[in-house]
Amino acid sequence: MSLGDFKLLYAASCVLLGLIILSPTLAFVVRLPEGERFSELYVLGSEHLAEEYPFNVSAKGVYRVFLGVGNHMGVLEDYVVYVKLRNQSDSLPDSVNGRSSSLEPLFEYRVALRDGGVWEKEVSFSLDGISRYGNFCRISGLVVDDYLVAFDKVAAWNSRTGGFYYQLFFELWRLDGTVSAFEFHNRFVGVWLNVTMPT
């Protein structure tokens, strides 16, 4: 090895050692590209799988689903999940324009999650005050986790599919720190319920 090669090797080693020593400081200055930031909202069936969702329901039944929220936003996030019930003519949230459903929430879950955190809850629900008259079915209450919420929701008989259909759905809202208010986070999931069983 010649003296010139040795000097070159020594200089390269010094530069490499300097980068290793300065790497913690460089991490504050140099920002590497970050992955996509997102939140997840999911509902699983009674067996904790993406199947076995309650469908044919009656007033005497208690039904269960698993509701989950995941935070991949890079920071601590505060969420609220609104529980809503619609008939087949009520509108869903508008995911194209980022607008929530105009229906009033019947119940809510508040969740604070660190980045990478997941919250999951077994949600039990039942329908209360089911009555039928002609081609209409009325529900006057929803019990969520043993909490009764009174309301009035009517569904018309669907002659094509043969049932009275409602959809229990969940909307994800996120705290926007700039305005200090929860805003619809453009995520919702739900399960269809057929209320044709005897009450």
Q: How far apart are CA 178 and CA 197, in angstroms?
A: 48
Residue range 38-194 forms a domain whose CATH class is mainly beta
Q: Where are the domains of the chain?
A: 1-32, 38-194
- What is the predicted pLDDT for the residue at 38? 93
> Which two three-digit tokens encode residue 30?
């140099």
C-alpha pair distances (Å), 42 with each of 48, 94, 104, 186: 11, 18, 21, 13
Helix (H) or strand (E) holding 9: helix 3-29
The predicted-structure confidence for 126-145, as pLDDT tens digits, reads as follows 999 999 999 999 999 999 99
Q: How far apart are CA 39 and CA 72, in angstroms?
A: 6
Q: How far apart are CA 46 and CA 52, in angstroms?
A: 6
More confident: 63 or 23 = 63
The predicted-structure confidence for 102-127, as pLDDT tens digits, reads as follows 999 999 999 999 999 999 999 999 99
- What is the predicted pLDDT for the residue at 196? 81
More confident: 126 or 2 = 126
Q: How far apart are CA 117 and CA 109, in angstroms?
A: 16
Global pTM reads 0.81
Q: By CB neighbour count within 10 A (0-12 exposed, 13-18 middle, 19+ buried), where does 182 fall?
A: middle
